[in-house]
Amino acid sequence: MRITQGCFSFLPDLTDEQISRQVQYCLEKGWAVNIEFTDDPHPRNSFWEMWGLPMFDLRDAAGVMMELGQCRKVYGNSYIRLSAFDNSHGWESVRLSFIVNRPKDEPGFRLERHEMAGRNIRYTTKSYAVDRPEGGRYG
């Protein structure tokens, strides 16, 4: 299973050079790039852990790539994504977000169905990985 969140998940995994060009695009737009990681990739898990603060006032993608390298050293078997934050009025949110690191094995999700009154079903999406405690989910 391959989680397809983010902007480029349907393409072959991006090389560091490709990632760096996307980061440069964001920096040139004046957006702050943020590195986040998680071992709970539930589609509604909005808040992945932050690897430091968003990198404001940065001009060169090399800074982000260095931090990404550090993050991978520690969380190389987790999901890592880059998000670019635009603080201009009327937007003030994420402008681009894409996955740059995945665990070796992605077990995905199971769908639980609770049968309710009538033919109504209450659905719950559960990650196979989160049955194990945080930190030990991807081996």
Give least dist CB 44 to another protein, A: 7
Q: Which residues bind another protein (CB under 8 A)?
A: 1, 3-5, 7-12, 14, 18, 21-22, 25, 41-44, 46, 83-84, 89-98, 108-111, 119-123, 125
Q: Which two tokens stand for residue 92?
A: 């003030």
Under 8 Å between Cβ of 102 and 14: no
Nearer to another protein, 73 or 114 (CB): 114
Nearer to another protein, 110 or 132 (CB): 110
Nearer to another protein, 21 or 132 (CB): 21
Query: Is residue 95 helix, strand or coil?
Result: strand
Give least dist CB 108 to another protein, A: 7
Give least dist CB 106 to another protein, A: 8
- For residue 6, CA distances in Å to 11, 13, 59, 111 come to 11, 12, 23, 21
Query: Would you tell me how many other CB atoms lie within 10 Å of the CB of residue 18?
Result: 14
Give least dist CB 62 to another protein, A: 17
Under 8 Å between Cβ of 33 and 27: yes
At 21, phi and psi to the nearest 5?
A: -70, -35
Nearer to another protein, 18 or 77 (CB): 18
